[in-house]
Structures are given as structure tokens and as C-alpha cells.
């Protein structure tokens, strides 16, 4: 298959060998599961259970709110012990709405939706509905609700489904292991997804550093003679797993700025999402667990684990026998785009693909130096931006100038900061600026809305005043009419007396 | 030569007169920039700047009667926007910006007198006579009008804290000169 070159990118030390050889292991249930209601992009889910309820495995705990949201299900059977705010798996460490559940140890399945016997015979909408009901979100880390992506076929003319199995982040091996060990199921999931999107072909994109996974999937395809699934070996280069760059590598087409890949006829799904969709379609099982890579130089034991959603990170670390030395950095996700873990009491959520405990020699702390305009960041940027220039503007609070030269097209992949010889925290500048812009927009929106409220209030006051005046005028008129009538009556009486 | 003088005087008179007439008949009512400024102001007419409302304050700003750091609910952000609009250099370092605040009602002190909800310019306070009142945070601009009218001192202004939806990464502190 012909490949196209993308601009920029880096070759960080992969360190996948730390966990790539370890088979997927299940983790014993923790004594408490803490399940955040916001595990996806969009509106948080709404709880449908109450404190004290006994729930079965797979039962809906919270349902989706609005078009972009995802339902949340019970990862095991047990009792809801609290619904309230708890520190969220978020770099800020701020609290978010969380359901706390105490497993009863029986792990009993509740009533599940009936399996779809032949997914290729049903309408694509039936599959989309099942995916929505199962709370499936993009499991590569972006956590966008998958059902919304399936609905794209009604809006765009789609040609190709690309399965993102690049797994370009160093250390992470969860997708690799899934493809090696569950290759039949993965291929089946991809074919169901292909049918659900109504496209002719699916391309699985795997980076060249995963030959075993590549061979395993190829073996399944050739054994069953599947003609609709192509397997492509893409070059190993970070950030190959960025969907726009992956599509460009495979098709040569560049996604326009701030558009979706669907606008050029391609939909990208993560390989783990395909597996989750297959579970939902073939067995009716919602998304209640995921595979997580635990790795890093500070871990005593590394590996790949199938973890129920809501498992505290500390439980997972304890299961791996803890740390062999004090970790310098604890990350949720990969080392390039992962977020720091504010507290190990937070949970594994649908988008958590890795827990990394890095020791100091893996995270060399370097002194930030002034920018010398060497432009290493410009050649590394896969989006063709000028990171040093944007950071310079942001440092002087000139956010609009940074937007003008493409801040909003930045995918925050971290390639620029990785190559920077002056160790300037470029991505933090960009994240700060993006957040600040959103905050400004929010403030502006609030100002407009409160202005509208003030106007409504003024109009209402005016209306009330007018109504009062009218009522007074009417009363006055009535009084006068009454007086007049009485006077008439009197006169008439007098006249009758007079006559 | 007489002709040339006559032509020039004539032209001068006609154009000058035309300008004079235009200035009289086509004059702009009010200051056009005042309207633009009013668009920036919160529009809640809270009166903390000393003017009767936001449109009066906008007039005052346009005339230069008051500095740009005049609007407590708008804070520093608004002050810098106003400085840009008016083309003035403003020293905002001395301006005390408490950051965004919203009203908060201490439930055990509230007597349900409805004074605050009658005064709230954005209808952000809900309640009824002899019922406890509450504040709708999303609608509150922190104008402090309610705090002033509350007879029992049950209302206070509290800074808006970050939530998961509003938090963003802080600006990196690299210790380098800009």
C-alpha cells in the first residue's frame, strides 16, 4: 500500500519492551469503585440510581444527557455507597460528581440487551443505537462518544474507515496486546463497525514496531479471506496516532483546518473501541472495563491489565507490587500527552490507556533557557506551525496574535517541547492560551446573557408599570361612571317625585 | 485678477457655508463612541461607578470624566478593553481586581424579605416572601446591589472558584525575562 509522508514528527525512545511481552492480566476487584460521571467529552451523565441501591453488573448507573454524552454502567455487582463529589482523574485535582460503589464480590451480570445475532444483517442505525446505549467512547484517550461518530454517515459521504492501531506513544502497549491476544474479536469488531458506517473498506494502521500484532491480524484476515479489511504498516514516528496525520499518511489527503476527517470521507476509530463495540453488539455487554498498561522505571512490576472502570489507581499500583523507587512523575496516559495524576485515589476511566511511574533518569529535569530561535520546534511540528513564535506571543499575553498564526490548529502533541534545546515548556504555553481563550469566550457569553436578562427585567418592569397605570385609570373611570350613574338615578328620582 | 479673487472668494464662501450648514443639520446626536463603549459594559446598571446606569457611564467614559478602571464587575479585563477602545494608556497595576465574584446568601440569616430579589438587575435571585432566597450563579454578575440592600447582612460576595469545566493550565513560570 502506498504511504504518504507527513511533515515533522519525532522519534522518542519507545520503551515499549517494558510491558510489550506481558500478557493481559485481570485485576482482582478493589474494595471500592469510584466512577466519575464525566468520563467523556460532552455533558456529564445523569445518575439514575440512588445511594443504597443494589446494582447488578452492566446495569445503567447514569444515562447520557444531550446529544454528545455517554451512559455509565456498573462494572460489577454491588451496592451504591455514595453519590457525591470526589477528586476527579484530572490534572487540576478538583472534585467532580462521582458514584462510589462497594462490590459484593459476586460479580453477577444483570439483564443485558439481547445480543444482535447477525450484525451484518441489521440496519446500521440499530448498531449505532446499541453503541450509544453501551456508553462506548473513543478509547485512544480522546473519549469522544462513538455513537456520535457513527452518526456522521448521515452528514458526510464516507468512503473509508481507518482503525487507529498506531499506538505511537512510548511505553503504551495495551492496544498491541489486545491485537495479539484477541485478534479474531478485534477483526470482527472492525467489520461490524465498517458495516455500521456503510463504507466499503476498513484500513487498520499499525506502526512498524508491532510486528506480532500485525502478523496476528493478518493471519485472521487471510484465514477467513476477509476482503474488506486492509492492514497497513505505517512508519514508526510520533505522532502517527493523531487521526488527521494518520489519514494523511494513508490517503495523502490533508484534513482542512478545524474540520473533521469525515469532511474528506474518512472516519477514524481506535482499535480498542472496535473491541468494545463488538462486545456490545455480539453480547450486549456495555463498556465497563478497559485494558491499561502499567509501566515506567519506577514500577516494581509492569504489565497490561484488564481493569474495571472506577478502579482506584492506587489499587492498580498495589497489584503491581508498588514502586521500586520514588517516582519522579506519575502520569495517566502516555509520556507525551498524558496528564499528571493529582492523587492516586482517583480512578481508571474509559479513556485511561496507561499508568506510568517514571523515575528521574526517564524525565531529565532541565533548566529552561531563553529561546535562541533555532527553529527545531518548527521542523518537529507535525502541523506546520511555528511554536516558538506562538509561545513568544503568549508570554506577552498577545493571545489573538497567537491564534492568527495557528494556535487553534495545535494538537498539543508535545513534539516541539521534546526537541527544544532550551527546554521551554511550549505545550504548557499553548494549553494555557487555549484555556484562557475559552475562559474569555465564556465570560463574554455570560455578559451577553446577563445583558439579555437585564433587558427582560426592564421590559417587565415597564409592562408592570403600564399595567398599574391602566388599572388605576380604569378604576378611576369606573368610579366616575358609578358616580354619574348615581347622580342620574338621583335626578330621575327627584323628577319622579317632582312629577 | 478680480475674476480670480471672485472665484476663490465665491468657492470659499460656498464651501464654508456648506460645511456650516452640514454641521448644523447633519450633526451627530451624542458621542458615537459612547454606544460602542456601552456594548462593552456589563449592562446591569448596578451603579457602582457612580453613574445612574451603564449608558450614562459610557457617556462619561467617552467624555473622559472617569477613568477606565471604574467598573468593579468588569474588573481588569474590561478596563484593558476600554483602554484599547479609547486609545488611552491605563496603569492597571494599582486597580484592585477581586476577580469574578458571585453573591451568596447565608440561609440561616435570610428572612425572606424579598428586598434583594426586587433589586437584582439580572433576576439572579430566586425566592418569595418569607421564603429563603437563593442565587443562580450563572446569572449573577457580582454587582453587589443585593449586598447593600440586605437588612440582615445575609448576603456576601464570594470569589468564583475553578471547577472541572473552567479550570485550565496556568501560564508557565520559567523565571525568564519576557
**Domains in chain A, please, with CATH?**
16-319 (3.40.50.11540), 366-499 (1.10.1060)
Residues of A in CB contact (< 8 Å) with B are 38, 88, 90-92, 94-96, 368-370, 394-396, 424-425, 428-429, 431-432, 434-436, 438-440, 442-443, 446-447, 449-451, 453-457
- Residue A453 has its nearest CB partner, among B122, B163, B175, at B122
Residue B64 domain-assigned (yes or no): yes
Cross-chain Cβ contact A88/B168 below 8 Å: no
Express each pLDDT in B129-177 by its tens digit: 999 999 999 899 888 889 989 999 999 999 988 888 899 999 998 766 4
Residue of A nearest to B164 (CA): A94
In chain A, helix, strand, coil percent, each to 5?
A: 40, 20, 40
* Domain interval for residue B59: 32-86
Report the gap between the CA of A426 and the closest CA in chain B (Å): 9
Residue B173 domain-assigned (yes or no): no
- Which residues of chain A neighbour B178 with C-beta distances below 8 Å? 395-396
Residue B7 domain-assigned (yes or no): no
Cell 506519575 -> residue: A330
Query: What is the total count of domains within chain B?
Result: 2
Do A370 and B176 meet the contact criterion of CB atoms below 8 Å apart?
yes
Best CA proximity match to A19, nearest among A245, A305, A445, A412:
A305
Q: Could you tell me if B71 and B119 lie in one domain?
A: no
Q: Could you tell me if B67 and B113 lie in one domain?
A: no
- Which residues of chain A neighbour B126 with C-beta distances below 8 Å? none
Q: What is the pLDDT of residue B178?
A: 44
Cross-chain Cβ contact A94/B164 below 8 Å: yes
Cross-chain Cβ contact A436/B168 below 8 Å: yes
Cross-chain Cβ contact B168/A435 below 8 Å: yes
Kindly state whether B102 is in contact with chain A, defined as any CB-CB distance less than 8 angstroms.
no
- Which residues of chain B neighbour A90 with C-beta distances below 8 Å? 164, 167
Best CA proximity match to A297, nearest among A262, A329, A267, A342:
A329
Instruction: Summarize the confidence of residues B61-85 as an average pLDDT.
Output: 82
Whether the predicted pLDDT of B47 surpasses 90: no
Residue of B nearest to A368 (CA): B174
Task: Supply φ then ψ for residue A75, to 5 degrees.
Answer: -75, -20
Domain end marker among B21, B53, B86: B86
Report the gap between the CA of B66 and the closest CA in chain A (Å): 22
Q: What is the pLDDT of residue B54?
A: 85
DSSP chain B: -HHHHHHHHHHHHHHHHHHHHHHHHSPPSS-HHHHHHHHHS------TTSSSSHHHHHHHHHHTSS-STT-TTTHHHHHHHHHHHHT-----TTS-----EEEEE-TTT-----HHHHH-TT--EE--TTS--EE-GGG-----HHHHH-TT--EEEEEPPP-TTT--PPPP------
Q: B55 falls in which pLDDT band (50, 70, 90)?
A: confident
Report the gap between the CA of B102 and the closest CA in chain A (Å): 13
Kindly state whether B27 is in contact with chain A, defined as any CB-CB distance less than 8 angstroms.
no
Q: What is the pLDDT of residue B97?
A: 66
Q: Is residue B12 annotated as involved in ligand binding? A: no
Question: What gap in Å lies between CA A446 and CA A450, rounded to an integer?
Answer: 6
Instruction: Summarize the confidence of residues B35-54 as an average pLDDT.
Output: 82
CATH of the domain at B121: 3.30.70.20
Residue of B nearest to A369 (CA): B176
Q: What is the pLDDT of residue A336?
A: 94
Beta bridge partners of A234: A207
Do A350 and A40 meet the contact criterion of CB atoms below 8 Å apart?
yes
- Which residues of chain B neighbour A436 with C-beta distances below 8 Å? 168
Task: Supply φ then ψ for residue A73, to 5 degrees.
Answer: -120, 160
Residue B91 domain-assigned (yes or no): no
- Which residues of chain A neighbour B45 with C-beta distances below 8 Å? 454
Residue B15 domain-assigned (yes or no): no
Whether the predicted pLDDT of B88 surpasses 90: no
Tell which of A401, A454, A460 to mutate to test the B interface (max B CBs under 10 Å): A454
Report the gap between the CA of B167 and the closest CA in chain A (Å): 7
Q: What is the pLDDT of residue B30?
A: 64
Q: What is the pLDDT of residue A467?
A: 96
Cross-chain Cβ contact A435/B167 below 8 Å: yes
Do A274 and A161 meet the contact criterion of CB atoms below 8 Å apart?
no
- Residue A438 has its nearest CB partner, among B124, B168, B176, at B168
Q: B94 falls in which pLDDT band (50, 70, 90)?
A: low
Q: What does the pLDDT profile of chain A (499 residues) look like in tens digits?
A: 889 999 999 999 999 999 999 999 999 999 999 999 999 999 999 999 999 999 999 999 999 998 999 999 999 999 999 999 999 999 999 999 999 999 999 999 999 999 999 999 999 999 999 999 999 999 988 899 999 999 988 888 999 999 999 999 999 999 999 999 999 999 999 999 999 999 999 999 999 999 999 999 999 999 999 989 999 999 999 999 999 999 999 999 999 998 999 999 999 999 999 999 999 999 999 999 999 999 999 999 999 999 999 999 999 999 999 999 999 999 999 999 999 999 999 999 999 999 999 998 888 777 899 999 999 999 999 999 999 999 999 999 899 999 999 999 999 999 999 999 999 999 999 999 999 999 989 988 988 888 889 889 989 999 999 999 999 999 999 999 999 999 998 888 888 877 6
Amino acid at each position: 500500500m502506498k504511504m504518504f509522508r507527513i511533515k515533522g514528527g519525532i522519534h522518542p525512545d519507545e520503551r515499549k519492551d517494558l510491558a510489550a511481552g506481558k500478557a493481559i492480566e485481570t485485576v482482582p476487584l478493589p474494595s471500592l469503585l469510584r466512577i466519575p460521571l464525566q468520563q467523556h467529552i460532552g455533558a456529564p451523565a445523569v445518575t439514575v440510581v440512588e445511594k443504597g441501591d443494589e446494582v447488578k453488573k452492566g446495569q445503567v448507573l447514569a444515562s447520557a444527557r444531550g446529544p454528545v454524552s455517554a451512559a455509565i454502567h456498573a462494572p460489577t455487582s454491588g451496592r451504591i455507597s455514595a453519590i457525591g463529589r470526589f477528586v476527579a482523574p484530572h490534572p487540576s485535582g478538583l472534585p467532580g460528581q462521582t458514584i462510589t460503589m462497594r462490590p459484593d464480590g459476586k460479580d453477577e451480570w444483570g439483564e443485558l440487551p439481547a445480543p444482535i445475532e447477525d450484525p451484518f444483517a441489521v440496519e446500521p442505525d440499530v448498531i449505532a443505537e446499541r453503541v450509544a446505549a453501551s456508553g462506548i467512547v473513543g478509547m485512544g484517550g480522546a473519549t469522544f462518544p462513538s455513537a456520535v461518530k457513527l452518526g456522521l454517515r448521515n452528514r458526510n459521504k464516507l468512503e473509508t474507515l481507518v482503525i487507529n492501531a498506531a499506538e505511537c506513544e512510548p511505553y503504551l502497549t495495551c492496544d498491541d496486546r489486545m491485537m495479539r491476544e484477541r485478534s479474531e474479536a478485534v477483526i470482527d469488531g472492525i467489520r461490524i463497525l465498517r458495516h455500521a458506517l456503510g463504507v466499503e473498506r476498513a484500513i487498520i494502521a499499525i506502526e512498524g514496531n508491532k510486528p506480532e500484532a500485525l502478523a496476528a491480524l493478518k493471519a485472521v484476515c487471510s484465514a477467513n479471506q476477509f476482503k474488506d479489511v486492509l492492514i497497513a504498516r505505517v512508519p514508526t514516528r510520533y505522532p502517527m496516532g493523531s487521526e488527521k496525520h494518520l489519514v494523511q499518511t494513508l490517503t495523502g489527503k490533508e484534513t482542512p483546518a478545524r474540520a473533521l476527517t469525515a469532511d474528506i470521507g474518512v472516519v477514524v476509530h481506535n482499535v480498542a473501541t472496535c473491541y468494545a463495540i463488538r462486545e456490545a453488539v455480539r453480547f450486549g455487554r456495555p463498556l465497563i472495563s478497559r485494558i491499561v498498561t502499567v509501566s515506567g522505571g519506577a514500577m516494581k512490576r509492569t504489565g497490561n491489565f484488564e481493569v474495571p472502570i472506577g478502579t482506584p489507581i492506587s489499587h492498580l499500583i498495589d497489584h503491581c507490587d508498588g514502586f521500586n523507587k520514588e517516582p519522579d512523575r506519575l502520569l495517566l496516559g502516555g509520556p507525551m500527552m498524558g496528564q499528571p495524576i493529582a492523587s492516586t485515589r482517583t480512578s481508571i476511566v474509559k479513556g485511561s490507556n496507561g499508568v506510568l511511574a517514571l523515575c528521574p533518569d526517564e524525565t531529565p529535569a532541565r533548566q529552561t533557557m531563553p529561546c535562541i530561535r533555532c527553529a527545531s520546534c518548527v521542523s518537529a511540528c507535525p502541523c506546520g506551525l511555528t511554536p516558538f513564535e506562538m509561545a513568544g506571543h503568549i508570554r506577552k499575553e498577545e493571545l489573538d496574535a497567537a491564534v492568527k498564526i495557528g494556535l487553534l490548529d495545535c494538537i498539543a502533541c508535545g513534539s516541539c517541547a521534546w526537541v527544544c534545546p532550551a527546554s521551554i515548556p511550549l505545550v504548557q504555553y499553548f494549553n494555557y492560551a487555549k484555556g484562557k481563550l475559552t475562559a474569555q469566550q465564556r465570560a463574554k457569553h455570560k455578559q451577553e446573557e446577563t445583558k439579555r436578562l437585564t433587558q427582560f427585567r426592564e421590559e417587565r418592569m415597564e409592562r408592570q408599570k403600564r399595567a398599574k397605570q391602566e388599572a388605576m385609570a380604569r378604576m378611576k373611570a369606573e368610579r366616575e361612571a358609578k358616580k354619574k350613574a348615581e347622580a342620574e338615578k338621583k335626578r330621575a328620582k327627584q323628577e319622579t317625585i317632582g312629577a | 485678477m478680480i475674476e480670480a479673487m471672485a472665484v476663490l472668494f465665491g468657492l470659499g464662501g460656498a464651501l464654508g457655508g456648506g460645511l456650516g450648514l452640514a454641521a448644523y443639520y447633519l450633526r451627530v446626536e451624542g458621542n458615537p463612541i459612547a454606544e460602542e463603549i456601552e456594548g462593552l459594559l456589563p449592562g446591569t446598571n448596578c451603579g457602582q461607578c457612580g453613574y445612574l446606569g451603564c449608558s450614562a457611564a459610557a457617556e462619561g467614559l467617552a467624555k473622559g470624566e472617569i477613568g477606565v478602571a471604574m467598573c468593579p464587575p468588569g474588573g481588569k479585563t474590561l478596563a484593558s478593553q476600554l483602554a484599547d477602545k479609547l486609545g488611552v494608556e491605563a496603569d492597571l497595576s494599582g486597580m484592585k481586581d477581586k476577580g469574578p465574584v458571585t453573591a451568596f446568601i447565608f440561609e440561616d440569616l435570610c428572612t425572606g424579605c424579598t428586598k434583594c430579589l426586587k433589586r437584582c438587575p439580572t433576576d439572579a435571585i430566586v425566592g418569595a416572601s418569607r421564603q429563603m432566597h437563593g442565587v443562580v450563579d450563572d446569572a449573577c454578575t457580582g454587582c453587589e446591589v443585593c449586598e447593600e440592600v440586605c437588612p440582615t447582612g445575609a448576603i456576601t460576595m464570594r470569589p468564583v472558584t475553578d471547577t472541572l469545566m473552567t479550570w485550565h493550565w496556568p501560564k508557565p513560570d520559567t523565571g525568564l525575562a519576557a
